Chains A and B, each alone.
Chain A
Amino acid sequence: MNNGNHKIEEFFCRNMEQIKNPIIKSFLANAKNLYLVEKAILYPTDCNMKMVDETFQSHYIKVQKIKYVSNLIYFYSLDFDKKRRRLHDRFLLIVDDGLTRTGIARNDERIEEGLLDTVEDEQLFQSLQNLTDKQLQILEMIYVKDCSIKTIAETLQTTPQNISNLHRKALKKLHQMLKKEED
Chain B
Amino acid sequence: MERENNYNEESLLFIENFSPKIKQCLHQTSYQEREDLEQEIKLKIIEKLATQEFINTPSFWDFFT
Contacts and interface: CB of A to CB of B under 8 A. Distances in A.
A73 B48 contact: no
A161 to B, nearest CB: 36
Interface stretch (A61-69, A102-110, A136-144, A166-174): A61-69
A69 B28 contact: no
Interface in B1-48: 14, 18, 21-22, 25-26, 28-30, 33, 37, 40-41, 44-45, 48
A70 interface: yes
A13 interface: no
Interface in B47-65: 48-49, 52, 54, 57-61, 63-64
Contacts, number: 78
Interface of B: 14, 18, 21-22, 25-26, 28-30, 33, 37, 40-41, 44-45, 48-49, 52, 54, 57-61, 63-64
23 contacts: A15-B63, A15-B64, A27-B60, A49-B61, A56-B59, A65-B49, A65-B54, A68-B48, A69-B45, A72-B48, A73-B18, A73-B21, A73-B22, A73-B25, A77-B26, A77-B37, A77-B41, A78-B28, A80-B29, A80-B33, A80-B40, A81-B37, A84-B29
Interface of A: 11, 15, 18, 21, 24, 27, 37, 49, 52-53, 56-57, 60-61, 64-66, 68-70, 72-74, 76-78, 80-81, 84
Top 10 nearest A-B pairs (CB, nearest first) are: A56-B60, A77-B25, A81-B29, A77-B28, A57-B57, A60-B57, A18-B63, A61-B54, A81-B28, A64-B54
